[in-house]
Structures are given as C-alpha cells and as structure tokens.
Amino acid sequence: MMSKRLENLIYKKISRRKLLKNAAAGVASYAVIFNLPDEFLNLFTASKSSVKSDEIFFRPIEPSSADELVLPEGYSYDIIRKWGDKISENEYYGYNNDYCVYIPIDLHNGGKSSDDGILFINHEYPHPLFVSGYSYEDMKNNVRKSKLQVELEMKSMGVSIFRVRKEKGSWKFVNDRLNRRYDGTSEILISGPAAGTDEMKYAYKSKGTVQNCSGGITPWGTVLSAEENYQDCLDPKELRWGDVLKDFTEEHYGWMVEFDPFDPGYTPKKRTALGRFRHENIAMIKSQDGRLVCYMGDDKVNEHVYKFVTEEKFDSKNPDKDILDHGKLYVADFEKGKWLLLDYETSNPLKMHFRSQADVLVNCPEAAKLLGATECNRPEDIEISPVDGSVFIAFTNNYKKDDHHGSIVRIIEENEEHTSEKFRWEVYATGGDESGFSCPDNLHFDSKGNLWILSDIGSSSLNKGIYRSFKNNSLFMIPTQGTMRGKVY
Ligand code: FEO
Ligand code: CA
C-alpha cells in the first residue's frame, strides 16, 4: 500500500531527451553585538533535548465553514494591523499577509522577551480591485493598468516590520524608529554569484521585492523573505506590469531576500546563491561540521526540493553576515535518495545547456530537471524537527497526479549529517478523511516537538466537492513524540 502511495506522491521524472529539448529552447555596515541567547541558537541545532508532552493543551475545534476566526475555548485574538493601517509616518500595512515572525526586542542582548518584540510580516499579492481599482471587467476588456495602478499594486506587496508590545493581556502596535516597509518599489541589492552578471542584466540592484510568501529566520537574527509567484507580475494577461514599468527585469524576482529587522540602515539583499524559483520558505540548521544547511521548496506542481550548504562554518559570536553568498546548491532525487549538485563547473550536462553558474541559478527548475531531480507535488513549507533533525516537507497537492489532499514527507539525512549527499525519506502523514486535514501548506515546530500544520485548500475549491468535509482552512497539530505521537488534532 505504501509503495503505491509513494508513487502517487512524487511525479515521475520526465525523460532526459525531452528535457534536453526543452532546455535548448529555453553595502552598508552596521554595529550589532552578537550575544544571541543559547535558546535561540539551539533552534538551529537538532538538540534532541525537547520536552516530551503527553498533554494536548487545547480543546480541538470541529471543522467550521463560518466566516470568522474560530478559536479553541480559552483563546482570544487581537487585531494588531490591517491593510492600509499606518506603519510609520508615510508607510502603510500591505495586502494579503503571509509569513509572520515575532522577534524578541532584546534578542541581541541575550534576551527572549515574550511581551516586547518586532513583527516581520510578508505581503504576498494584491487584489487588483481593492488595491488599484482594476476590475474583472477591465481585465476582460483588455484595459491596460495605468502607471499609478501598477505602483499601487507594487506598493501593496513586500514586507512590514514594526514593534509590538503586550500590555494588560492584549497585543498592541507600537510606534517605533524600527517600523518600516519594503515594497515592490524599494531599493534592494542583488548579492551572490549571479549579481552583476549578464543573466541579471549586469545589475547589482533590483527594483523592489514582490510576491513575498513565507520565509525563515537566520541564526544571526535577520529574516529571509521568499519571493514566490513572481510570474504573476510578469504575465501580461494577469497584472500587465511589464509593459508599464520599462525598468522591470524578470530575472530580478524569484529570490530569497534578506532583511535586518533591527537595522533600518541595512539595504535588503537578494541572495542569488540560493537559486531562483517560486520560493516558499527556508529552514536552516547548523550541521555537525559547523556549516549551515538551508532547505527550500519550489511551490509549483511538478517542481523540486532544494538544499543549500554554506562554504564557511557558522560562528555565532562573530557571524559572517554574507555567509549565504557562498556555497553549494543541491536538488533532491527522491528515487535514488541523493542530493544532486547544481554546479556548472563540474557538470557536463549543465555545461552543455547553460552559459555559467549564474545562468544555472537564474534558471534552477530547468537545471534541476536536466540533472534528473524528482518532480514533486507542490513542495511548500519545510521545517526541521527540533527532536531529531529530520526535515519535514509539506507537499500540498498535485492535480496532475490526482493527489488532491497532499501529504507531509520526512527526510532523514545519512548519518544524521545535514551536509550529507544521501538521504532516506518516508511519508509522515497523508491528507484526506482519515487524517482530517487536506492540502498542508505552512509548517512549524514548537519546542515540545509538536508539528503545526496550516491547510491551504484554494479558495475556488474550499467547501466544495471532495473538499467539502474539511470546511474552512485550519491549523492542525501532530505531536511527534509521546503517547499521542502521530495523531492529528
Ligand atoms: Fe504563498 Fe505556496 O504559498
Ligand atoms: Ca504557503
């Protein structure tokens, strides 16, 4: 039974010949004292010291189709910011929140404040009607967006960074010098091997960051934001941007972008060594030999799972803040349990079809397919278990393979060494009526090793057909240790 499921899970590699054919067609410095708390740095090691819990500390709710946020008994929520609210004097909260990370305000002083911190939020994409007044009728009638409409949409994406504080039991927005926005019009640097190359139109800067999906925090206290569906900004039928903004360069989007929430003077950087694809998020861990290892998914049907290994070892007391500019990028072959190196210099197939390593990095999906990487069922969030260092991946679904409910797959690196080029894997949980969840998207581990899963049944399928019984998208918890291990709540 298992093998059949595995077969359904991973899309078969397409023939090399077909691929070859397809391929042919196609600095500011700042001073922060690094005194990060051990508890924070432990997030980046598989400490194997997580607390076991045999208690389910909330009363799970039933699926609901009510148009409201339904919480378990004893829980409440505060609205801190909403679209259009002020972030600073002249900056406003963006549209469609995605990634949300809380960073203790005293992080760099060895602290872990849980009632005073910075919120870092991604804004993924605009709804044209609300943001720029561009209607469905306009689209049907081939009306072009004005420059102003395009700019309004560009400004609604990117990230919001602002201070929050808990006062008398409620969370509040706080005006602060750290509060700011970066959007589709901000200046962003391009860093790493592709910067300044002809593949990037010789640029060291890009206009803005867009389609910011999920992300990840680094062990030096910065945040990476994932540019996901950048093609939506490029499709003339969709947003009609390319012909409005003449300086728009397609290759400048689809990267992981690094921000320093503590330093308003830091210009964010697109880290090209991490490759260009529809980035969903990033999860980092320090390997046994001290190098950093980053896992990333390309959220598209029949796309891939990637891993980046830094060249240098990570020093928490004196971190090299550009450590992500140098290293090796791999892509997963689930059939052979191997990480395939995307390296122009040492790969004949890559040399035959690309011009340089920059060309490989700009066109990761094509390079990955050329090497025979496994086509997956929409790899979304990836998170690393704090209990044993295994790597959990949410495969959301794949309509092309009749995988409607998705699954969660777990990778175990050879010898538990994250830099290893070999791995084993298993299906940890499958979506469907038996488990009660469908279309897993964002993942997170808490300190007890409980896996949290947010579902993302697309709005056009929600509460309909085979998805009806799951009702609205929900947050699920699976304990990964203790007597409740593997049960879904
Ligand atoms: Fe923006 Fe793949 O979720
Ligand atoms: Ca997502």
Q: What was the pLDDT predicted at 351?
A: 98
Lowest mean pLDDT among 3-7, 66-70, 185-189, 355-359: 3-7
Closest ligand 1 atom to the C-alpha of 98? Answer: 1
- Starting from the CA of residue 157, give the closest ligand: 1
pTM, entire model: 0.92
Going by DSSP bridges, is the β-strand pair 301-303/291-297 parallel, antiparallel, or unpaired? unpaired
Instruction: Name the band, by pLDDT with cuts 50, 70 and 90, for residue 43.
Output: confident
Q: 279 phi and psi, to 5 degrees?
A: -60, 130
pLDDT at 298 > cutoff 80: yes
Amino acid residing at 100: C
Lowest mean pLDDT among 17-21, 149-153, 255-259, 471-475: 17-21
What average pLDDT does the structure give for the chain? Answer: 90
CA-closest residue to ligand 1 atom 1 = 213
Mean pLDDT of 199-207: 96
Instruction: Name the band, by pLDDT with cuts 50, 70 and 90, for residue 334.
Output: very high
Dump pLDDT digits (tens) for 399-409: 999 999 999 99
Q: What was the pLDDT predicted at 52?
A: 65
State the chain's maximal CA–CA distance in angstroms. 65
The residue whose two tokens read 């897993």 is 440
pLDDT at 11 > cutoff 50: no
The two counts, helices (H) then strands (E), for the chain are 9, 27
Going by DSSP bridges, is the β-strand pair 269-271/187-191 parallel, antiparallel, or unpaired? parallel
Q: What was the pLDDT predicted at 219?
A: 96
Mean pLDDT of 271-283: 98
Distance 228 CA to ligand 1 centre (A): 7
Distance 407 CA to ligand 2 centre (A): 14
Distance 398 CA to ligand 2 centre (A): 15
Closest ligand 1 atom to the C-alpha of 226? Answer: 1
Dump pLDDT digits (tens) for 216-239: 999 999 999 999 999 887 665 555
Q: 110 phi and psi, to 5 degrees?
A: 80, 15
Q: 324 phi and psi, to 5 degrees?
A: -80, 0
Closest ligand 1 atom to the C-alpha of 380? Answer: 2
